[in-house]
Structure 1
Amino acid sequence: MARVSQAHLDARRRQIIDGAALCFARNGFHATSMQDVLKEVDLSAGAVYRYFSGKEELIAAIVGEVLGQVRDGFEEAARATPPPSPDVLVASVLGRVLAAKESLTVDGRPAFPGLVIQVWAETIRNEELSAVLREGYGAVRGAWARIVGEYQDAGMMRSDVPPEHVARTMMAAAMGFLAQQALFGPTSADELAAGLRALMSMGGDSGTR
Structure 2
Amino acid sequence: MARVSQEHLDARRRQILDGAARCFARDGFHGTSMQDVFKEVGLSAGAVYRYFSGKDDLIAAIAGDAVGGVRHAFEEAARTTPPPTPDVLIGRVTRTLFDAGQLALDRQAYAGLILQVWSETLRSERLGSTLGEAYGGLRAAWGELVEAYRANGMLRTDLPADHVARTLIATAQGFIVQLALFGDMEPEVLEDGLRGLMSMDVQRAS
Task: Give the TM bin, normalised by the shorter chain.
Answer: over 0.9
| 1:157-191 superposed Cα distances (whole Å, 9 cap, x missing partner) | 11111110001111111111111111111321121
Structure 2 CA distance, aligned partners of 1:74 and 1:81?
A: 14
User: Counterpart of 2:196 in structure 1: which amino acid?
Assistant: A
Matches within 5 A, 1:94-113: 94-101=94-101, 103-105=104-106, 110-113=108-111
Q: 2:134 aligns to what?
A: 136
Matched, 1:90 2:90: yes
| 1:24-49 superposed Cα distances (whole Å, 9 cap, x missing partner) | 00000011011111110001111111
Deviation at 1:114, TM superposition (A): 1.1
Deviation at 1:78, TM superposition (A): 3.9
Task: Please point out which of 119, 123, 127 is paired with 1:125.
Answer: 123
Count the aligned residue pairs: 202
Equivalent position SS for 1:110:
helix
Q: Is the 8 A contact 2:73 2:97 kept in 1?
A: no
Q: 1:201 aligns to what?
A: 199
Q: Which has the higher helix share?
A: 2
| 1:87-138 superposed Cα distances (whole Å, 9 cap, x missing partner) | 1111111111111237414xxx831111112111111111101111111212
User: Counterpart of 1:182 in structure 2: which amino acid?
Assistant: A
Q: Is the 8 A contact 1:77 1:89 kept in 2?
A: yes
User: Counterpart of 2:29 in structure 1: which amino acid?
Assistant: F
TM-score by length of structure 1 reads: 0.91
User: Measured at CA, do residues 97 and 78 of structure 1 come closer, stay the same or move farther in structure 2, by a change above 3 Å?
Assistant: closer
Q: Is the 8 A contact 1:23 1:36 kept in 2?
A: yes
TM-score by length of structure 2 reads: 0.92
User: Counterpart of 2:4 in structure 1: which amino acid?
Assistant: V
Q: Is the 8 A contact 1:67 1:140 kept in 2?
A: no
Matched, 1:179 2:180: no
Structure 2 CA distance, aligned partners of 1:162 and 1:181?
A: 29
Structure 1 CA distance, aligned partners of 2:155 and 2:201?
A: 13
Task: Point out 4+ residue stretches in structure 1 off by more than 3 angstroms.
Answer: 76-79
Deviates more, 1:88-97 or 1:12-21: 88-97
Structure 1 unaligned runs (5+)?
none
Deviation at 1:77, TM superposition (A): 3.9
For the aligned residues, what is the CA RMSD? 1.6
Structure 2 unaligned runs (5+)?
none
Q: 1:34 aligns to what?
A: 34
